Structure 1
Amino acid sequence: MSPLNDRYRTSDDSDSVFDSAIAVDLLPLAQLAMTSSDLTNVFLPPGWNKLAIVNCAPQPFQYPGVKGFLASGRVGNDTSTSAVLALGIDWSSWMQYYMNGSIQGTPASSWTGAPSGSLISLTYNAMYNAVRASLWDSLKFLSGKKLRVTGVSLSGPLAQMAALDLRSGNKGPTQQSAPGNVESYAFSTGAIANSAFAAYLKNEVPNSYAIIAGTEDNKIDFFPLNNNSELNSELGELIELSSSLPEFDVPWIERSADFYLKAMNGVPNPPPSQSGAVEQVPGFSRQLAFQFANLCAVSYQRFQHPNAQTMNISPYSVGKSITANGVNFATIYTSVDSLAVAFRGACTWQEFADYVSNSQTKTLTISGTNVSVHTGTANLFYGPSDTGDSTTFKEKLLSEIQAALGDRTNIYFTGHDIGGAVANLAALDFESSNSLSITSVYTFGATPTGGPDLKNLMANTFSQTCFQVNRSIDPFAKLSNVLIGYASLDTQVSVTGIPVNDCYPYHSIKSYSNLLDPKE
């Protein structure tokens, strides 16, 4: 066992053969499988040789494409050469090709051998079946080497399924024999199965590990957490990594490969920092944008760790948080003359699926005009504030703003990720209905809000007072251009550059704050 292993514990405190030194070497390979656009010419770490490429095409409205590679090298303290199958799904591909919202369950495919009552994600079951032939075909290059399978975030469940598929005694699509004794290491992975399937996989593949940053008493990475879906069971043995909270308590930092490497005493390899620029457009204030990015960060914290010490957000003070479906989603901040509402983005796997990925448009009537709106955004804004409560998030938000406004003359809406889309929709709704007079809107890496009709209504309602701040390399900021039926809202403000310790997918509100800092 590696001396690093005192930094983790299993969920049931059982003896484990999990080796964090192996995990440290596997995670960069999993990250490469996710982030590399050209696996033919992928640059592997020193000492690694690519053996084969694995892939399957996306199916629009069903699932994204899967990509990956089989490589040989040495991991951890293992002196023999082993093979690693690294599988990847990038965030933008998921967003572009999966638009159906909540992940539905289905009986597991027959190849699993799972008992009756076992349910698995319909989406992941279809994805794995699509890539299965390519995966098994790559194994002809194994040459008797020990096999480990790995994946991070969206692709983690595929690694867990592959470990089950490749276990001893199983057969492939053309009756190939499985290599057997396979291990899987999945990082920051959402639950995709019910308890029956999870128990079956754990029994069949004891060396399958689901690695999460944080512990039950000190949750850090909230992405793997599930709330109330029937698919609420983690696959494999849960490995909890002890780590401290960063200053920016935000999900895209805490679920990153770099954060996980640090938690396991590994050494991250962030991209070289580059100076950049913030586009100057009429009416836009870099100082306000910087302040509002920090307010968005604190809104994340108000959901994840509401009792933690808040970072410096002067001249604003933290006010009341407003819940959507029973959890903090927006927070009110006040200064001497201004009130700002900051909407956070998705933190958990279930929020990402239910809201962000629920992206087929729906028609709403705002100010007498029919407009197409992102379904997940509309469901969140017009949905319940608390579970089982008839009061909507919109109604609760308006009530709390009016109670806190006093004689303040400025009202700002700001948000990151889907919180940016909600900020846009909320500002349009309140301004159009004369419920509030919105001074301006600032969003950061906002997911799509709506179609060309909504874009026109926003432009007519907010003339040079609504700003969509987007990094040039943030894939979420470009989704409005690739999703059918959507349009990018005015006014776009481009931000370039790479701050110190930036991390894929370059979407974190921390990076936006660093690049917008007027001192930089």
Structure 2
Amino acid sequence: MTYSQYSDQMTPSSQIYVPIPNNSKRDWAGVVDSQLSSNFALMMQFAVASYCPSTTSSKTWNCGVRCEGSTAGTVIVGSYSNSATGAAGFVGYNSNQHMIIVSVRGTADIQSCIQDIALWKTPADFGGFSNNKAPSSAQVHAGFKNTYMGLQSTLQSGLVSLAAQYPSFDIVFTGHSLGGAVVNLAAMDFYQNNPQYGSRIAIYTFGEPRVGNVDFANYIDSLPYAQKIFRVAKSGDIVPHLPPESFFNFAHHIDNYEITRFGTTTNYCVTTGPAGESDSCNSDTIAINLLDHITGYYGWYTYPWFC
């Protein structure tokens, strides 16, 4: 497929981001409303932009169709790309969308794959203040933490500056695959050191693997922005089933939403197990292949091609 063919088949989001109130999200059931689905599509477009070298290396918002439509006008203030670890992401702001945005890419090369399969766990401690530090029993996937630590300085310094400069903007974290795991760690780290901004944080992830153990997932669930965490999984995507729930006590945090395999209908998945685990949606119970993970979210290809 050529870039022209790819851009012709993609329609950039034309939506304005609408912050979700931090209240009754967990009372939802069934199909979510059109506004939240629009937010999902917009945030996936921001997530897939982090696969492009222009955003993570040269700090320019010039990534083809991914940087058009509702994401146009984004200004990147900090970016990071490390070929040794495969980590890459950016922090910036979009005045049209009234948001500060952090986006981290998923697995795009063999180095990231190596990080993904490091299955041992390590304490969920990034040097936060003691009053907000995760409990000592909370542990996270060592590979995900190592990837985040490579990005930490760039993301956190940019966030602190932008949060003070734009006090009315939401602080939104987004990522696909490994990126979804990493932005959860970035948001937690930012909150631990800047708890005054907790009510402004929102997280949107797509095809996110399990990040840590049950105690870590429950800790995430206790934070003030927990009602604004949206974990989207597509039916058929194998990655949200990894690492296995029974393997070394990994567990998902709340809350899961499903894109059906042959469409874009998004359902709320009721939590039925420990932490954020659920079996009420097909995406919770069916693991089929990797192709749905790579190409299955609103049609975006999660490759550094077509940027």
Q: Same fold judged by TM-score > 0.5? A: yes
SS of aligned partner of 1:260: coil
What residue in structure 2 maps to residue 45 of structure 1? 68
Distance change in 2, residues 1:506/1:147 (3 Å): closer
Q: Tell me the C-alpha RMSD between the 2 structures.
A: 3.3
Distance change in 2, residues 1:15/1:95 (3 Å): closer
How far 1:152 sits from its partner (Å)? 0.3
What residue in structure 1 maps to residue 222 of structure 2? 203
Q: 1:120, 1:193 within 8 Å by CA — same for their partners in 2?
A: yes
Q: 1:160, 1:235 within 8 Å by CA — same for their partners in 2?
A: no
How far 1:95 sits from its partner (Å)? 4.6
Deviation string 1:206-262 (CA, Å, 9 cap, x unpaired) is: 111211112xxxxx21211032322521133112233338xxx97343113x5221x
Distance change in 2, residues 1:24/1:72 (3 Å): same
Structure 1: 5+ residue stretches without partners: 3-11, 76-80, 215-219, 262-267, 270-502, 508-520
What residue in structure 2 maps to residue 235 of structure 1? 253
Instruction: Count matched residues.
Output: 234
Distance 1:188 1:92 in 2: 17
Ranked by relative contact order (alpha carbons within 8 Å, sequence separation 6 or more), the top structure is 2
- Written as runs of structure 1 = structure 2, the 5 A alignment for 1:118-517 is 118-139=138-159, 140-142=161-163, 143-144=166-167, 145-167=169-191, 170-171=192-193, 178=197, 180-204=199-223, 205-206=225-226, 207-214=228-235, 220-226=236-242, 227=244, 228-244=246-262, 251-256=289-294, 258-261=295-298, 268=299, 503-505=301-303
Q: 2:230, 2:255 within 8 Å by CA — same for their partners in 1?
A: yes
SS of aligned partner of 1:224: helix
Letter of the 1:104 partner, please give it.
W
How far 1:158 sits from its partner (Å)? 1.2
- TM-score computed with the length of structure 1 as normaliser: 0.40
SS of aligned partner of 2:193: coil
Deviation string 1:312-359 (CA, Å, 9 cap, x unpaired) is: xxxxxxxxxxxxxxxxxxxxxxxxxxxxxxxxxxxxxxxxxxxxxxxx
Q: 1:105, 1:121 within 8 Å by CA — same for their partners in 2?
A: yes
Letter of the 1:65 partner, please give it.
A
Distance change in 2, residues 1:103/1:31 (3 Å): same
Distance change in 2, residues 1:64/1:165 (3 Å): same
Deviation string 1:186-206 (CA, Å, 9 cap, x unpaired) is: 100111200010011012131
Larger Rg: 1
Distance 1:234 1:99 in 2: 19
Distance 1:64 1:199 in 2: 29
